[in-house]
Structure 1
């Protein structure tokens, strides 16, 4: 299959956003990868590239054994067999976290397969259209910082509140999806303030 120029541009933008997302999650991504031009992208993967060729595997900065895999699938519609095959590959390669980039939403059975294996590995689902633009770079989106467990405990002790008393953010929120937030985590949001210079709020992931 030969992709048109428009399709190559489409995939290059998605690929770049994925790499930015992984770096923002503290996985090791080089500057050369992040700055890959469209021409370099085309040269690296060729005119006859398949989406599967865009597979990415990265290690966490503070723990090289903690890996994440990103899967691209050529099929416009992804069936349960493909989902189970990806999950089995993750289990075989001891990868506890994965990202599946789809052209169209998963079927009910595909989503069920992901849920069934959630206790063994986590597979996040993104549509290609969701990754054409990095939403965190939009001027209306303030910086978000994911708190460590220690930072979360310090925050709750400082204000003598329970985590459930904090304002909430849904796991399905685009920002929460971008950072791969899990239920129970807390994120710090830094907004500009005309009086104080900046205004800090916190959200509890539900």
Structure 2
């Protein structure tokens, strides 16, 4: 774009913002963003995730998966950095309602995979109550996320305080230091977005550090309930 400054001189500006509008499919963009967040989430939980996977550009993602990605091709598994026997499987469910037959079908596919210790299901639609009950068939924890909840990594929001998951040893040291019981700690729901991000279980404790101008340096602890 061209124009004039206050002195009448011609000024050549950079390209308009409209030039940066994504002209690819919304579907591929959603898959790309959610996949990146899941990879970051697993890395933050201590799983082995290559930086090259997280840093994959939207353009490269589309080169690999196209404008209409196949949900099955986006499935992947990874092991925990400190315990290779702990393996997490991530599965994308297709659009539409997830019913009992879908959950039973997945169970039959992975029933013989003894190395699995957890499963993350990413949904694009609703899941029936009967399908949720069927998750009890799995011998390990099954976590459910809506794809729309993964388009942004909530831990990167500028207004979000820093969360650090305490080890059991650190938790006991904290309780001993302040001479309190677990139930006396402030609570955080297991359904809270941060608790879900880190896959926290009831009884785990997180250290919350605030870094705003007003609350800078303030630290508190919350127990998952």
Q: Report the Cα offset of residue 91 of structure 1.
A: 3.9
Counterpart pick for 1:112 among 133, 143, 163: 133
Q: Report the Cα offset of residue 30 of structure 1.
A: 0.8
Structure 1 stretches of 5 or more lacking a match? none
Counterpart pick for 2:72 among 52, 59, 65: 52
What is the TM-score when the length of structure 2 is the normalising length? 0.84
Aligned-CA RMSD value: 1.8
Counterpart pick for 1:146 among 155, 161, 165: 165
Task: Tell me: CA distance 1:47–1:9, structure 2 relative to 1, closer, same or farther (3 Å).
Answer: closer
What is the TM-score when the length of structure 1 is the normalising length? 0.91
Counterpart pick for 1:160 among 179, 185, 201: 179
Task: Confirm whether residue 101 of structure 1 aligns to residue 122 of structure 2.
Answer: yes
Task: Confirm whether residue 137 of structure 1 aligns to residue 150 of structure 2.
Answer: no
**In 1, Cα distance between equivalents of 2:90 and 2:194:** 18
**In 1, Cα distance between equivalents of 2:214 and 2:35:** 40
User: Could you say which structure has the larger radius of gyration?
Assistant: 2
Q: Report the Cα offset of residue 17 of structure 1.
A: 0.7
Task: Confirm whether residue 11 of structure 1 aligns to residue 42 of structure 2.
Answer: no
Equivalent residue, structure 1, for 2:96: 76
Equivalent residue, structure 2, for 1:184: 203
**In 1, Cα distance between equivalents of 2:54 and 2:26:** 20
* Contact kept? 1:193, 1:199, Cα under 8 Å: no
Residue 169 of structure 2 aligns to a residue whose secondary structure is helix
Task: Tell me: CA distance 1:150–1:49, structure 2 relative to 1, closer, same or farther (3 Å).
Answer: same
Residue 40 of structure 1 aligns to a residue whose secondary structure is helix
**In 2, Cα distance between equivalents of 1:197 and 1:7:** 40
Q: Report the Cα offset of residue 86 of structure 1.
A: 2.5
**In 2, Cα distance between equivalents of 1:79 and 1:38:** 31
**In 1, Cα distance between equivalents of 2:171 and 2:106:** 33
Equivalent residue, structure 2, for 1:127: 146
Q: Report the Cα offset of residue 117 of structure 1.
A: 3.5
**In 2, Cα distance between equivalents of 1:145 and 1:90:** 32
